[in-house]
């Protein structure tokens, strides 16, 4: 987070110093700031691993869009056809995420994919209760959720 | 060519929204309705916005469409979560085809506390190892 703050600050400095206030120049400033932080991150502990996050973020976005389409078509198919293929149920999912921000992102992304809806977190914050629409293959569902969680934590940590 | 892509994006977006509203009518209970309505609706809005951005091909329109998509992605899951949670804890009956419910046994209706099923002893709700890890995170 501190790395992103510095990236934006460097971009604003670039815009101010080069004197042209356009969106493209701001984008150029962001790219140059990113490159500068990439060089700096070895020497500043607070910035450690900052430049690694962008490729991870891009790969996560692509993965998430793919999952979103797949799951949406599945739900849409069940809504559009007269017979119910769904087997809904509430499952307890043990989380690796611990801080507030991690749990928030994890539960939001789980809610965002159709077919899974996060209901509540247990009081000791170890388990997330999820309403799932397709419980035909619970093992597979848990594996998919674990993969989603692993990818989110790789960006956050 | 780009006209065709715009048309496809707008039409699929609109059909996702139709499916979302059909889902509200057809699906049997509250959580499954939340599955259909909020997410398919958000998906439809996203595709419509992608079509709009592509049609105008302008930086200003693109950034606005991007901002709209981001705000939909932030708000949709929170709305779905809050409605689903409130409905569940108010005791809205689930569909009779529901195969399992792992939450029900762990919820205490009198104290409104929700257990994880991993508690070491009935007295301490927060396990000591977990508490320590939390403090580490904050530093």
A118 and A77 share one domain: yes
Residues of A within 8 A of B84 (CB-CB) are 117, 119, 131
B29 and B92 share one domain: yes
What percent of chain B clears pLDDT 70, i.e. is strictly above it? 83
Indicate if the pLDDT at residue B130 is higher than 70.
no
More confident residue, B132 or B44: B44
ipTM, two decimals, is: 0.73
Indicate if the pLDDT at residue B45 is higher than 60.
yes
Q: What is the per-residue pLDDT for B123?
A: 53
Domain assignment present for B14: yes
Domain assignment present for B16: yes
Q: What is the per-residue pLDDT for B139?
A: 46
Domain assignment present for B103: no
A7 and A74 share one domain: no
Q: Write down the mean pLDDT value for chain B.
A: 79
- pLDDT, one tens digit per residue, over B5-16 is 999 999 999 998
Closest CA of chain A from B92, distance in Å: 13
Residues of A within 8 A of B114 (CB-CB) are 120-123, 129
A91 → closest Cβ in B59, B102, B138: B102
* Mean pLDDT of the region A6-13: 89
- pLDDT, one tens digit per residue, over A53-73 is 888 888 888 988 888 888 888
- Most B CBs within 10 Å: which of A80, A97, A123, as the mutation test of the B interface? A123
CB pair distance less than 8 Å for B36 and A109: no
Listed residue (A106, A109, A107, A110) closest to A133, CA to CA: A110
A37 and A62 share one domain: no
Domain total in chain B: 2
Q: What is the per-residue pLDDT for B23?
A: 85
Going by pLDDT thresholds of 50, 70 and 90, the confidence category of residue B132 is very low
Tokens 């042209």, residue located: A20
Q: How many residues does chain A have?
A: 157
A145 and A78 share one domain: yes
Element at A121 (helix H, strand E):
strand A116-121
Is residue B106 within 8 Å of A122, Cβ to Cβ?
yes
B91 and B113 share one domain: no
Please state, as a whole number, how many other Cβ atoms lie within 10 Å of the Cβ of residue A74: 16
Indicate if the pLDDT at residue B114 is higher than 60.
yes
Listed residue (B9, B48, B43) closest to A69, CA to CA: B43
B112 and B93 share one domain: no
Q: What is the per-residue pLDDT for B122?
A: 53
A77 and A130 share one domain: yes
Q: What is the per-residue pLDDT for B11?
A: 93
A75 and A42 share one domain: no
Q: Write down the mean pLDDT value for chain A.
A: 84
A14 and A86 share one domain: no
B31 and B91 share one domain: yes
The domain in which residue A35 lies consists of 2-47
CB pair distance less than 8 Å for B99 and A135: yes
B59 and B10 share one domain: yes
CB pair distance less than 8 Å for A107 and B77: yes
Domain assignment present for B68: yes
Q: What is the per-residue pLDDT for B4?
A: 92
* Mean pLDDT of the region B77-104: 81
B88 and B114 share one domain: no
B91 and B122 share one domain: no
- What are the structure tokens assigned to B93, written together? 């009956």
A23 and A92 share one domain: no
Going by pLDDT thresholds of 50, 70 and 90, the confidence category of residue B131 is very low
B92 and B112 share one domain: no
pTM above 0.80, yes or no: no
Listed residue (A121, A143, A49) closest to B130, CA to CA: A121
Domain assignment present for B17: yes
Q: What is the per-residue pLDDT for B7?
A: 93
d(C-alpha A51, C-alpha A47), whole Å: 9
A62 and A136 share one domain: yes
Domain total in chain A: 2
B122 and B56 share one domain: no
Is residue B47 within 8 Å of B13, Cβ to Cβ?
yes
Least confident of A32-46, A49-63, B20-34, B95-109: B95-109
Residues of B within 8 A of A117 (CB-CB) are 31, 34-35, 80-81, 84
Which chain B residues in 101-130 lie under 8 Å from chain A, judged by CB atoms? 101-104, 106, 113-119, 125-127, 130
d(C-alpha A43, C-alpha A27), whole Å: 25
A98 and A147 share one domain: yes
Which chain B residues in 13-52 lie under 8 Å from chain A, judged by CB atoms? 16, 19, 22-23, 26-29, 31-32, 34-36, 39-40, 42-43
The domain in which residue B121 lies consists of 108-138
């Amino acid at each position: 987070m501190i790395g992103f703050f510095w990236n934006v600050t460097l971009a604003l400095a670039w815009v101010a110093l080069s004197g042209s206030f356009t969106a493209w120049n701001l984008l150029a400033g962001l790219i140059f700031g990113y490159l500068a932080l990439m060089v700096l991150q070895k020497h500043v502990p607070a910035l450690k691993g900052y430049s690694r996050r962008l490729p991870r973020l891009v790969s996560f976005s692509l993965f998430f869009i793919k999952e979103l389409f797949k799951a949406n078509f599945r739900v849409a198919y069940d809504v559009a056809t007269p017979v119910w293929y769904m087997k809904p149920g509430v499952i307890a999912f043990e989380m690796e995420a611990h801080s507030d921000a991690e749990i928030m992102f994890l539960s939001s992304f789980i809610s965002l994919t159709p077919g899974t809806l996060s209901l509540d977190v247990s009081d000791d914050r170890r388990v997330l209760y999820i309403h799932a629409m397709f419980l035909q293959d619970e093992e597979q569902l848990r594996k998919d959720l674990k993969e989603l969680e692993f990818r989110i934590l790789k960006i956050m940590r | 060519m780009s006209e065709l892509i715009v048309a496809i994006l707008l039409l699929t977006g609109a059909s996702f929204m139709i499916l979302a509203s059909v889902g509200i009518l057809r699906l049997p209970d509250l959580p499954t309705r939340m599955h259909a309505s909020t997410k398919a609706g958000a998906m439809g809005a996203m595709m419509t916005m992608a079509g709009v951005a592509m049609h105008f091909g302008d930086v200003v329109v693109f950034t606005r469409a991007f901002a709209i998509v981001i705000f939909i992605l932030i708000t949709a899951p929170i709305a779905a979560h809050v409605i689903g949670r409130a409905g569940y804890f108010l005791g809205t009956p689930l569909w009779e085809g529901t195969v399992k419910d792992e939450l029900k046994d762990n919820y205490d209706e009198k104290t409104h506390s929700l257990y994880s099923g991993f508690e070491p002893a009935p007295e301490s709700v927060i396990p000591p190892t977990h508490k320590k890890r939390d403090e580490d995170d904050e530093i």
